[in-house]
């Protein structure tokens, strides 16, 4: 999406907030002072004094304030290098964000250009087109060939951080950055020609999430939706993340004592209710992402059954 960021004093940001008072959104993203949705564009002002204009007439709207801007505007390039599919790159992807049961799992994988044909041969492709059985089969082969970094955040830990006020987006961003850092160390002194993140948040939001982190990787980092289809490194990362997720998920089902379902549909409400009845509510932080609406739905099922 087309966007521009300008930096403003907090005073000007207050003026802006007042100027857009009829368009303010009821809630603001973490770290933001205000968010406004105009008919022609969206505006988000952050405590870091950055103001993001997105979509439609973003440039025109931003230009109203630019005279006062303390630094020159920086237009974010969202375009990828045209030859990115053929470069040696680190790709990152995550699994488990939308799953009530099972850990959030992030992988960064490094694929050198010479390895691309071999990975194709093994069957690496968009993991959404692969069955779990196929994913396991491919993952077992590629984990011996390519360097990667795998981070698994068990729900117990996830809930703890989430309750401290970290959004899922922020948690995911921190894990991606960590995985990239680990992998850069692992492959050093070689260096990737680019880093491609399967886009779960816009670049600016991603870096805003990371603002308090150490070692923020920014050099040659690109974002794209459906990045699995752009470079096999992302596809490989996705397969390795899903492989780890499946294993952890199966372990969790063993602990539950009955099969669990992926995703966050109605079935998981029933399964969570069954867990509460058989093991007590206090085990939930270990099994589920507590902030999902499923938790309350499951509790209501239990209440109905107890009536
Ligand atoms: Mn993804």
Instruction: Return d(Cα 147, Cα 143) in angstroms, integer.
Output: 7
Question: Using alpha carbons only, how large is the chain's radius of gyration in Å?
Answer: 22
pLDDT computed for residue 18 by the predictor = 93
Indicate whether 52 pLDDT > 50. Answer: yes
- CA of 263 from ligand 1 middle (Å) equals 15
pLDDT computed for residue 78 by the predictor = 57
Instruction: Return d(Cα 266, Cα 230) in angstroms, integer.
Output: 34
Residue 287 three-state SS:
helix
Angle of helix 155-163 versus helix 168-187 axis, rounded to 10:
120
- CA of 174 from ligand 1 middle (Å) equals 15
How do beta strands 3-7 and 74-75 pair? antiparallel
pLDDT digits (tens, 9 = 90+) for 127-161: 888 999 999 999 999 999 999 999 999 999 999 99
- CA of 241 from ligand 1 middle (Å) equals 10
Residue with more model confidence, 72 or 266? 266
Confidence of residue 82 (pLDDT cuts 50, 70, 90): confident
Instruction: Return d(Cα 143, Cα 151) in angstroms, integer.
Output: 14
Quote the percentage of the chain above a pLDDT of 90.
Answer: 84
- CA of 225 from ligand 1 middle (Å) equals 8
pTM score, two decimals?
0.75
- CA of 6 from ligand 1 middle (Å) equals 29
Residue 196 three-state SS:
strand
Confidence of residue 73 (pLDDT cuts 50, 70, 90): very low
Indicate whether 75 pLDDT > 50. Answer: no
Confidence of residue 70 (pLDDT cuts 50, 70, 90): very low
Indicate whether 74 pLDDT > 80. Answer: no
pLDDT digits (tens, 9 = 90+) for 244-293: 999 999 999 999 999 999 999 999 999 999 999 999 999 999 999 999 99
- CA of 248 from ligand 1 middle (Å) equals 19
Residue 236 three-state SS:
helix
- CA of 103 from ligand 1 middle (Å) equals 15
């Amino acid at each position: 999406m087309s966007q521009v960021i300008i930096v403003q004093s907090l005073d000007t940001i207050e003026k802006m907030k007042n100027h857009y008072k009829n368009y303010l959104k009821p809630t603001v993203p973490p770290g933001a002072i205000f968010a406004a949705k105009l008919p022609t564009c969206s505006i988000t002002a952050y405590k870091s004094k950055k103001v993001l204009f997105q979509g439609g007439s973003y440039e025109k709207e931003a230009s109203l304030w630019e005279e006062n801007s303390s630094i020159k505007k920086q237009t974010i390039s969202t375009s990828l290098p045209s030859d990115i599919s053929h470069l040696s790159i680190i790709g990152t992807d995550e699994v488990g964000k939308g799953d009530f049961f099972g850990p959030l799992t992030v992988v960064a994988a490094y694929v050198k250009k010479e390895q691309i044909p071999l990975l194709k041969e093994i069957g690496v492709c968009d993991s959404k087109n692969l069955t779990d059985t196929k994913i396991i089969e491919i993952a077992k082969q590629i984990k011996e060939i390519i360097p990667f970094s795998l981070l698994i955040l068990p729900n117990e830990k996830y809930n703890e951080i989430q309750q401290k006020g970290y959004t899922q987006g922020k948690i995911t961003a921190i894990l991606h950055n960590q995985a990239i850092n680990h992998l850069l160390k692992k492959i050093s002194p070689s260096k990737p020609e680019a880093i491609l993140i399967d886009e779960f948040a816009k670049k600016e939001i991603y870096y805003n999430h990371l603002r308090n982190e150490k070692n923020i990787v920014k050099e040659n980092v690109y974002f794209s939706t459906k990045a699995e289809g752009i470079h096999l490194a992302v596809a490989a990362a996705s397969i390795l993340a899903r492989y780890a997720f499946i294993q952890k998920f199966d372990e969790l089902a063993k602990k539950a004592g009955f099969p669990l379902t992926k995703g966050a549909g109605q079935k998981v409400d029933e399964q969570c209710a069954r867990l509460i009845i058989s093991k007590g509510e206090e085990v939930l932080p270990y099994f589920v992402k507590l902030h999902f609406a499923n938790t309350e739905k499951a509790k209501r099922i239990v209440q109905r059954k107890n009536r």
